[in-house]
Chains A and B, each alone.
Chain A
Amino acid sequence: MIAETGHYALILALAVAIVQMVLPVIGTRLRDPQLTAVAVPAAQAEFILIGIAFIALTTAYVTSDFSVLNVWQNSHSAKPLLYKISGVWGNHEGSMVLWVLILALFGAAVATFGTNLPRQLQANVLAVQGSIAVAFLLFIIMTSNPFARLDPAPFDGQGLNPVLQDPALAFHPPFLYAGYVGFSMAFSFAVAALIDGRIDAAWARWVRPWTLAAWMCLTIGIAMGSWWAYYELGWGGFWFWDPVENASFMPWLAGTALLHSALVMEKRDALKVWTILLAIITFSLSLMGTFLVRSGVLTSVHAFAVDPERGVFILGIMAVFIGGAFALFAWRAPLLSQGGLFAPISREGSLVLNNLLLTVACAAVLVGTLYPLALEAVTGEKISVGAPFFNLTFVPLIVPLLIAVPFGPLLAWKRGDLYAAAQRLMVAAIVSLGVMIVALAINQKGPWLAPLGIGLGVWLLMGAATEIATRVKLFDASSTESWRRARNLPRAAYGSALAHAGVGLMVIGLVATTAWRTERIEALAPGGTVDIAGYQLKFEGVAPRQGPNYQERVAVFEVTRDGNPVTELRPSKRAFAVEKSATTEAGIHNSWRGDLYVVLGDELKDGGYSIRVYFNPMVRLIWIGALVMFFGGGVSLSDRRLRVGAPKRAKPKSKTATVAAEGR
């Protein structure tokens, strides 16, 4: 009964979404306020109905209702509750329901909190959101019904793939979807603006918070996935340039560019056409990510048994939305007026450079991801494009951008002074050079480029500090004056400085761990030892242990450093009887120098085990950097100027106030 309610709610939601797609557009064309106003309650009803469907599916999972096919395929009564719940989106059908739920949530948010939007814009935005919902609800109902029944109901389920039974992975998909789907807001606003043929700085002010929120979710979602891959897959790697990883990374790159170009549009009323185009591209890449993962066209650690019919359906959805949006763009974009002139050396100019490099780097990733598909379709040859390709193309394109980052915020709008900015960055440059020289001196092995990379990371950190120091006139004004300025600085300024510092931390972590990682593969009998990076590991032996839904063999390692005990590591191999599968749990010891990472391998003939030990220097900075970027986004989002529905600040009264506001 519960499952049928859910199914019925999905079909009702489709009907409501069709209303939401059609009536408001007719209303705005005919200038009929009543038809236009339908958009708001329709978006709210759609969210409630999809919410009911989602709750119904979750209930079926929590109560282990194995008469529902989807629950039987992906759950088991012995599974811990957290993984029963995360099992809802740990499969194709359920994850699509989560996808439309988040879509409807964003739509309902615009309907409920967007009361200060012009009616016509709001109605058009909700109509475009409705059309996306129609496409995906049709897709779910026609090809991927999560509520299909099984008769007779089996006694127990088949369980969830064990590698997915993990806390980080439980929340990785919701964040990722919130990111993907969040970019649909930017897309809907862009299409609505094209339908209207009107766009202004206010448009950018409404779009920015949505894009920022989506970007934050995508950042943390990708970081979680990478963190999970690092400790769960037992390879000690954190990024594999796998096509599906690329599929989430490309919208992130385009979204980052969109954030920066929307800034130009909001402040200077320039780059309008480009911002609209970027909004369309970003969401198109999100749709492509959805397609690549679910169609089975790619070989990837993420791609699983898939149904080609679904791939064709999503390809159709992609063709309609991307093709439609680009056609609309080609037709209507010339109507949009050009605004704000600026010199090449200016804040706008630096943001254009940011956009140029980000989109070109994104295009390089796109080429590497799709080239194997194209080649196979044309010649039938099968190839894989792996890390070497991306290191050779992506890295040289992104490094100039990272070098340029600290300059951007120090340049004035319209016409900047590069020489003055460089002078302000003198301290940052000297510190980075110093760190680079120290790194070069202690860098005995590893590539000579590594110290330069570390210097680049420090440069970004110092650049972020310089930006804040310049704005509060640290050391140039009295300390009380600096303190007053620091308190009055808009939060968006702290947000962007934090985000840029996060990139710096990430660069340091990436470079250090890639260049100076050490690896040992040994065959060890109990009592044997391995030395790595100053640690000594003594293998004590292997013991069996019973977990909630698995059996495991746990190895015990005593870790010492210069004879002093450090810790005990317990890597294990888990065997999941229900799922007939196995996972590796790495033993990880974390210190400020880096991670000691031990993996238990197979048993050998003589009673020994093959053991793999890594030392990953400073690897955690990668995820700490991502967290800092996330918080930077959050701080920026809390800025009152961006808060959705916040009243506009009163007009500055005196001329000095105006000058102070422009100085920001």
Chain B
Amino acid sequence: MTRKQRRGVLIGTCLAVLGVAVGLVLYAMRDSIVFFYGPSDVAGMEMAPGQRFRLGGLVEEGSVERGTGTTVRFVVTDGAKTLPVTYTGVLPDLFREGQGVITEGVLEPDGVFHADNVLAKHDENYMPPEVAAKLKEQGVWRDETGADGPESKVN
């Protein structure tokens, strides 16, 4: 093999791998991206049936209903609009009424958001940036992450 051919093999392999990678990324981008909405966004848009998204906001005070089974119902609010949520499973430790929450799942035709994932946060003073931004849009933002909040870091 000449030097030129060797270089050709090398460059060809690199291009092939890169091409496959770009293809995979583009394909995955189309199918596996999850959008984030607040209750007001959801009210104002047509959702394709079965489309997964993340719903964020505050857990409305007094809305958490625990039955005798493992299904929990609560209402997520951003101050302007609300959306009822059901979730089957064990809630994270820091799930509380009046606190920020992010849930992931599907909006069913009955108007209830069926969450299969409720995200836990490590810090009780932490407000997910998306939730904070949505709350600011709706004008119900309270500065909960005051200067006296413990800051912590895992990494």
Contact = CB atoms under 8 A, between A and B. Distances in A.
Interface of A: 73-74, 90-92, 95, 158-161, 163-164, 169, 172-173, 176, 225, 233-235, 244, 247-248, 289, 293-294, 296, 299, 301-306, 341-344, 352-353, 356-357, 360-361, 363-364, 367-368, 371, 381-386, 388-389, 392-393, 396-397, 521-523, 573, 579-584, 599, 601-602, 604-606, 608, 610-612
B20 interface: yes
B151 interface: yes
Contact of B119 (A289, A301, A606): A301
A363 B22 CA distance: 10
A244 B122 CA distance: 14
Interface string B89-122: 1111110000000100000000000000001111
A305 B151 contact: yes
Residue among B24, B29, B122 with max Cβ neighbours from chain A (10 Å): B122
Given A173-B155, A388-B32, A396 B24 contact: yes
A588 B32 CA distance: 32
19 contacts: A90-B153, A161-B123, A233-B120, A248-B155, A299-B102, A302-B153, A305-B125, A344-B1, A360-B17, A360-B21, A363-B21, A367-B25, A368-B28, A382-B36, A386-B32, A389-B33, A393-B24, A397-B17, A610-B89
A304 B35 contact: no
A392 B151 contact: no
Given A343-B1, A344-B6, A610-B70, A301 B153 contact: no
Most B-side CB within 10 Å, residue of A160, A233, A610, A612 = A610
B14 A356 contact: yes
Contact of B20 (A368, A397, A581): A397
Contacts of B32: 385-386, 388-389, 392
B31 interface: yes
B3 to A, nearest CB: 7
A284 to B, nearest CB: 17
B93 A581 contact: yes
B68 A299 contact: no
Given A225-B154, A302-B155, A601-B90, 10 more contacts: A90-B152, A161-B150, A234-B92, A302-B153, A341-B6, A352-B10, A360-B18, A382-B36, A393-B21, A611-B90
Q: Could you tell me the dominant secondary structure of chain A's interface residues?
A: mixed
A490 to B, nearest CB: 29
B139 interface: no
Given A392-B31, A601-B91, A92 B10 contact: no
Interface residues of B, number: 58
A306 B89 CA distance: 31
A383 B3 CA distance: 47
A601 B126 contact: no
Nearest to A229: B154
A313 to B, nearest CB: 16
Contacts of B36: 382-384
Contacts of B153: 90-92, 95, 293-294, 302, 304
Contacts of B94: 581-582
A604 B66 contact: yes
Contacts of B14: 356
A500 B24 CA distance: 26
- Between B21, B29, B124, B153, the greatest number of chain A beta carbons within 10 A of the residue's beta carbon is seen for B153
Contacts of B89: 521, 601, 610, 612
B90 A164 contact: no
Contacts of A521: 70, 88-90
